[in-house]
Copies of this chain bind each other. A is one copy, B any other.
Amino acid sequence: MVSKHEAAEAVREAKVRTGITWAQLAEAVGKPLAWTTAALLGQHPMEKDDATTAAALLELGDDVAMAFQLQPSRGALESAVPVDPTIYRLYEVVQVYGPTIKELIHEQCGDGIMSAINFRLDVRRVPDPAGDRVVITLDGKYLPYQW
């Protein structure tokens, strides 16, 4: 049997071999781009049909399609503080702006959090004459502390 971690590795390899993009995979599966990417990287369980569709597109076997459907044990960083520069910048945002975001959530909503479970994510390239921009949208339900 193939683990979700091994399935994620297989996906990365198959993408290089087949030239299929995340966007094509998301379109085939009919799910949002970031959700599909996260799912194929092992962070969400997929439904059977979606798993089969994605595996077929990537020319991967039934055992990988099965792994796509497993309940994940989430969390994907190789260490508490990520070392890859592209991912580190996200951690840096938490280091520098974490308390700012906390203050603004509390001022606008009250004593609570942005859910990371009832949550969606978008990553887009936005053209800009001064150099294109990466715009990441974190969109989670507000959950008030409630006893």
A residues at B contact (CB < 8 Å): 1, 12-13, 16-17, 21-23, 31-35, 37-38, 41, 43-45, 66, 69-71, 73-109, 111-121, 123-126, 128, 130-147
Q: A32 and B137 in contact (CB under 8 A), knowing A74-B83, A121-B100?
A: no
Q: Are B80 and A98 interface neighbours, CB within 8 A?
A: no
A96 touches B103 (CB 8 A): no
Residues of B within 8 A of A115 (CB): 89, 143
A141 touches B135 (CB 8 A): no
The answer on a CB contact under 8 Å between A84 and B109 is no
Known: A86-B102, A97-B121, A99-B76. A142 touches B133 (CB 8 A): yes
